[in-house]
Amino acid sequence: MKLAKVVGTVVLSQCIEAYRGQTLHIIQDIDEALELTGEAEVSATWAAMNEGDTVIVEVAREACNAFDPPLPTDTSIIGKVEKVNLAG
């Protein structure tokens, strides 16, 4: 699992049947200072998020299992983060 920010939304003009009706967002990882880092990637989710939302993302094989039936995806947004407390 990792933290990321929603930086955009994906709108498909054509799609694989498994993605029909699925909400897809563009996300980017965030570091310890809550700053964007790394490359942006597409992530599936159960509900639409707003741009700028901080989210919890499941990665790899486990990302597929967030949906029933499983969705062919490398990342899935599994939660929205309301507050982050950093112990210093």
pTM: 0.85
Give, rounded to a whole angstrom, the gap between the first and last alpha carbons of the chain.
22
Domains defined for the chain, CATH in brackets: 2-80 (2.40.50.220)
Which string of DSSP letters, residue by residue, matches 44-69? EESS---TT-EEEEEETHHHHTTSSS
Q: How confident is the model at residue 88 (pLDDT cuts 50, 70, 90)?
A: low
DSSP assignment, residue 33?
A: T
Q: Could you give the CA distance from residue 30 to residue 84 in angstroms, rounded to a whole number?
A: 12
At 2-36, the pLDDT tens digits run 999 999 998 888 877 877 778 899 999 999 899 99
